A and B are shown apart, each in its own frame.
Chain A
Amino acid sequence: MIFDLELILDSIPQMLMGLGLTLQLLFLSLALGTALAIILLLMRISGRWVLAAPAMAYIYIFRGTPILVQIFIIYYGLPQLELVRESILWPILREPFGCAIVALSLNTGAYVSEIFRGGVLGVDRGLKEAASALGLSARQRFIYITAPIAIRLSLPAYSNDVVSLMKSTALASTITLLDMTGIARTIVAETYAPYEVFLSLMVIYLVLTWMIQRSFGWIEKRMSRHVRSEI
């Protein structure tokens, strides 16, 4: 087969027009998802059954079902209910962008809260005991001792999740959004040239992934300065 170089050069700028939307989806749902993850984490480690059980159920549901199905339920399913169409949430759920943000945030929140929990559980028990020996309250112990260490421990897994969230934004193209993947699919439908267009799209995503990994690599290094200086 002949590779249509001209088509590639022509389609890459077109797909990059969707980069803004892809990044909006990524950063907005990352911020909302992380906030949700913290709430879920606090509920789970609260030690109170009424708080921990709903959080566990939520995490189980959102980690246990495909994100594409979640997007479809939110986009196509919810408007079937009169209740939703008349609620104050409708201006958000009416827009495909709002639906994508809601779905991606809810989904990533479940994953990230488990990542954070792993970080919290990884904090050495001795440190907490030392803190309480110093007379710090439970809240102070969490904020000054547990949280900073837990964040550092969670970072590698968290960066993984950011990459996978970035890839999940492509699913927004299934609900009419013209992110990079949505534009690529339109070009393919018009030109019948899936190889050239999707391969170029892959390269763009790989560059994005590389940038995310480098950023987190830098943050990890910075947060572990004290460890390296000791060696």
Chain B
Amino acid sequence: MIKKITQSLFAVVCLMTFIGIGTASAEKLRVGMECTYAPFNFKNENGDLMGYDVDVARGVAGLIGADLEFVCQKWDGMIPALLANKFDLVVASMSITDKRLEKMDFSDTYRISVGRLVGKKSAGLKLFDSTDKPIPANFADLKVGVERASTYADWFKNELPKANVVLYDTNESLYLDLVNGRTDMIMTNPMKAHLRFLSKEDGAGFEFVSPQIDERKYFGIGVGIGLRKGNDELKARLNKAIKTLTDNGYLESYALKYFPFAIH
């Protein structure tokens, strides 16, 4: 009798477990992001999560058939929280660096790290040739503002050592002096330049005067989806999904919601 009950209980437990597995058959991935980093991941006035990172996360999840749960996490605790299994993926505009690669793994990039020059529309600057190589002679007599010790300063030091570079301490003073006419152009992150300057009233007379400059030596690899080490199978699926999103123009359409240009 007792044996029978035990058997049937066992059967019930097995069944429940089976059903349990059945309902959770769609994989669940928890995604960490700051939720405050507009326009990449932020909450709109209704409290809904939006942004480029959010779109990428949803696009990837749709392709690999996973359910998403977003976890808001402050930046300085992002990697510890990933390692502590508070979430499975970091889709938070995190750049791939050697230092981070020691602790965690990254998918392929879904956003680039680049620099771009901004100058006056009316100046008619022609600084790059048809193969997007800078023409050093055309930089003569022009002042370029960059942030002190930034990747952009580095690029100028090595690629155009003769350029007249002025070093600034903040991004805002770059725009101020460009408007004031103390510099002829500035080099900075095109997304920042668009959001903080070109889309504003002060930036009306200015535009990008160079192609995107993305030499990996200076600007790094870009932004990828972070995950814990040892998840190579998941990583392969993420990479495949990112490739599909890139090839089918989804990444571009995500970017165009917030910027007038693609950012992958």
- Whether both chains belong to one complex is answered with yes
CB–CB B149/A190 < 8 A: yes
CB–CB B148/A189 < 8 A: yes
Point out the residues of chain B lying under 8 angstroms from A182, CB to CB. 167
B181 to A: closest C-beta gap in Å: 7
At the interface with chain A, which of B15-23, B168-176, B243-251? B168-176
Interface size of B as a range: 10 to 19
Q: Give the CA-CA distance A80 to B175 in the complex, in Å.
A: 12
List B153-206 residues whose CB lies under 8 Å from chain A: 166-169, 173, 176-177, 180-182
Q: How many A-B residue pairs have CB under 8 A?
A: 29
CB–CB B167/A186 < 8 A: yes
Q: A79-B180, A176-B166, A178-B167 are in contact. Are A186 and B148 (CB under 8 A)?
A: yes
Point out the residues of chain A lying under 8 angstroms from B167, CB to CB. 176, 178, 182, 186
Please tell me if A214 contacts chain B, counting CB pairs below 8 Å. Answer: no
CB–CB B169/A174 < 8 A: yes
Q: Give the CA-CA distance A30 to B181 in the complex, in Å.
A: 28
Please tell me if A94 contacts chain B, counting CB pairs below 8 Å. Answer: yes
Q: Which residue of B lies closest to A94 (CB)?
A: B182
B182 to A: closest C-beta gap in Å: 6
B51 to A: closest C-beta gap in Å: 30
List A69-118 residues whose CB lies under 8 Å from chain B: 76, 79-80, 85, 94-96
Q: Give the CA-CA distance A178 to B182 in the complex, in Å.
A: 16
Point out the residues of chain B lying under 8 angstroms from A85, CB to CB. 180-181
6 tightest Cβ-Cβ pairs between the two chains A and B: A189-B149, A79-B180, A190-B149, A176-B166, A189-B148, A186-B148
The 16 sampled A-B contact pairs (Cβ below 8 Å) are A76-B173, A79-B180, A79-B182, A85-B181, A94-B180, A94-B182, A95-B182, A96-B166, A96-B182, A174-B169, A176-B166, A176-B167, A176-B168, A176-B177, A178-B167, A189-B149
**Supplied contacts A94-B182, A176-B166, 11 more A-B pairs, CB within 8 Å:** A76-B176, A80-B180, A85-B180, A94-B181, A95-B182, A96-B182, A182-B167, A186-B148, A186-B167, A189-B148, A190-B149
